[in-house]
A and B are shown apart, each in its own frame.
Chain A
Amino acid sequence: MDETIQLQAAGLKKKFGAETVLNGIDLDVHKGEVVVVLGPSGCGKSTLLRCMNGLEAPTEGSIRLDGETITSGGRNITKQRQRIGMVFQSYDLFPHKNILDNITLAPVKVQKRSKAEVEQQAEKLLKRVGLWEKRKAYPRELSGGQKQRVAIVRALCMNPEVMLFDEVTAALDPEMVREVLDVMLELAQQGLTMVIVTHEMQFARAIADRIIFLDGGVIVEEAEPEQFFTNPQTQRAKDFLQTFTYEKRKTS
């Protein structure tokens, strides 16, 4: 097996009742690679990510992390999830815990690391996203963008090998989108392996090593970002990209 493959979907199928949401996905994510998954709403992007950390069990096929199959509900699932960080669209910080406790909870209680060491790392990460002063605040006192940055820090503090981002800016006010995306760009530069679902096309183009275009439950197109955005090969990708462009109204 290719040693540099970190996360792999092989023949992944997922059905909800009679509805086939993913219909055979093969995807290798290499160490340090940033893969951006694009596709129309409802095409199964979230489902793909959720399969990747065992929140959904594949109907067929498998997800492997460093060659080890991820089994939702399996014995090792909590161990495996520690190695895959995930940030969701909804700001899902724990509302009854302050920012620092949100971040240190799992590293201390799940990974059994020393509190002092975890807090040191949390301090470093929080400073990097400019939120160290907010460490004693509660989630409700933060803006959406700040909450998402904390959610990213919380996942990072587990030292995951891979990070999954599911439309983390979709619920944010436009002026807050940037601060979150900047954090992700920085992580990409540091060589973190990431799988990102987003509707921010310029961001996707800037951050991706590879674009995956998902539609109808299959990978319709897979390309380098420049190639994908300037010269998409399939009609469906062209149509999809068309929905993001606005042309000047001709007045004649």
Chain B
Amino acid sequence: MGFWNQLNTEFMARYLPWYVDAAKLTVTIAFWGILFSLAVGLVCSVIRYYRVPVLHRIVAVYIELSRNTPLLVQLFFLYFGLPKLGIVLSAESCAIIGLTFLGGSYMAESLRSGLESIEKSQIESAQSLGMGQMLMMKEVIFPQALAISVPGVCANMIFLIKETSVVSGIALADLMYVTKDLIGLYYETDEALLMLVIAYLIILLPVSILASILERRLRYAGFGN
């Protein structure tokens, strides 16, 4: 009871616009980061699936590198390291690139496990119908592989949205940054943290719910030969 009664609602109302702006930034970074992660992941998963000479080794190195370094370190490298090599990127670009670098490997692994779960007999029956590689990919392998990858891909999306909180480390005014700022300025810790949690819930809950609906729909949409 005490916690709720003591909340400074006036303070919360005053700084709500800060959170709205910060949420917009978080969503923007997450949106582009996820989109590019999917693109990178798709290309990498196909390269690994077909074991494309040379490229699949490069992809393997990338995946290890990406999965075994913290996002903050990747961001520092992009934001503070690259300018020393003469490449200056805006903080927002760094955040999106960093998130893509991280997310690409996670997406690649989820998509690849989907691709690899397609039975050989599916491929052979497509081949025996005279289908070429591209057509087979588009009509037979991808639709089935994607459906299998959906739970993994959705989990990655949620993971990446949460990871955006790290971008405050390169001075981007996302939700985390604003919260730390307000706490530092006014010591209204309870209010700031509560707004932070609610903001993340508002962003993440719809994604979570959508993901579970999608998973359920796909599970019933023509599988279980």
Question: Any chain B CB within 8 A of the CB of A97?
Answer: yes
Question: Any chain A CB within 8 A of the CB of B9?
Answer: no
Query: Complex formed: what's the CA distance from A55 to B121 in Å?
Result: 11
Task: Tell me whether chain A's interface is mostly helix, strand or loop, or mixed.
Answer: loop
Bin chain A's interface residue count: 20 to 34
Per-residue B-contact encoding for A128-140, CB less than 8 Å = 1, 0 else: 0000000000111
Interchain nearest-CB distance for A203 vs B (Å) = 22
Is B131 a contact of A92 with CB atoms below 8 Å?
no
A91 neighbours in B (Cβ, 8 Å): 225
Is A53 a contact of B128 with CB atoms below 8 Å?
yes
Question: Any chain B CB within 8 A of the CB of A158?
Answer: yes
Is A105 a contact of B139 with CB atoms below 8 Å?
yes
B125 neighbours in A (Cβ, 8 Å): 86, 88, 92-94, 151
Per-residue A-contact encoding for B104-142, CB less than 8 Å = 1, 0 else: 000000000000000101101111111110010001100
Query: Complex formed: what's the CA distance from A90 to B225 in Å?
Result: 10
Given contacts A96-B143, A96-B147, A96-B221, contact A106 B122 (CB under 8 A): no
Query: Complex formed: what's the CA distance from A91 to B225 in Å?
Result: 8
Per-residue A-contact encoding for B66-106, CB less than 8 Å = 1, 0 else: 00000000000000000000000000000000000000000
**Which of B122, B139, B147, B222 is in CB contact (< 8 Å) with A92?**
B122
Query: Complex formed: what's the CA distance from A106 to B130 in Å?
Result: 7
Question: Any chain A CB within 8 A of the CB of B223?
Answer: yes
A234 neighbours in B (Cβ, 8 Å): none
Is B121 a contact of A92 with CB atoms below 8 Å?
yes
Is A95 a contact of B224 with CB atoms below 8 Å?
yes
Is B144 a contact of A95 with CB atoms below 8 Å?
yes
- On chain B, the number of residues with a Cβ less than 8 Å from chain A's Cβ atoms is 23
B residues within 8 Å of A by Cβ?
A: 119, 121-122, 124-132, 135, 139-140, 143-144, 147, 221-225
Per-residue B-contact encoding for A76-87, CB less than 8 Å = 1, 0 else: 001101101110
Is A81 a contact of B128 with CB atoms below 8 Å?
yes
Is B225 a contact of A110 with CB atoms below 8 Å?
no
Is B222 a contact of A110 with CB atoms below 8 Å?
no
Is B135 a contact of A109 with CB atoms below 8 Å?
yes
Is A95 a contact of B129 with CB atoms below 8 Å?
no
**Residue of B whose beta carbon sits closest to that of A50:** B124
Interchain nearest-CB distance for A7 vs B (Å) = 14
Question: Any chain B CB within 8 A of the CB of A214?
Answer: no
A78-B131, A94-B122, A96-B147 are known contacts; what are 12 more A-B pairs with Cβ within 8 Å?
A84-B128, A92-B124, A95-B144, A95-B223, A95-B225, A96-B143, A96-B144, A105-B139, A106-B131, A110-B129, A110-B131, A110-B132
A55 neighbours in B (Cβ, 8 Å): 124, 127-128
B130 neighbours in A (Cβ, 8 Å): 78-79, 81-82, 106, 110-111, 158
Query: Complex formed: what's the CA distance from A96 to B225 in Å?
Result: 9
Query: Complex formed: what's the CA distance from A93 to B127 in Å?
Result: 13
Question: Any chain B CB within 8 A of the CB of A154?
Answer: yes
Is A139 a contact of B129 with CB atoms below 8 Å?
no
A155 neighbours in B (Cβ, 8 Å): 128-129
Interchain nearest-CB distance for B220 vs A (Å) = 10
Query: Complex formed: what's the CA distance from A154 to B129 in Å?
Result: 9
Is A90 a contact of B127 with CB atoms below 8 Å?
no
Is A110 a contact of B135 with CB atoms below 8 Å?
yes
B122 neighbours in A (Cβ, 8 Å): 92, 94
Interchain nearest-CB distance for B104 vs A (Å) = 26
List 12 A–B pairs whose Cβ atoms lie within 8 Å, in order of A's numbering.
Answer: A88-B121, A88-B125, A92-B122, A94-B140, A95-B224, A106-B130, A109-B135, A110-B131, A140-B223, A151-B125, A155-B129, A158-B130
Query: Complex formed: what's the CA distance from A106 to B143 in Å?
Result: 16
Interchain nearest-CB distance for B225 vs A (Å) = 5
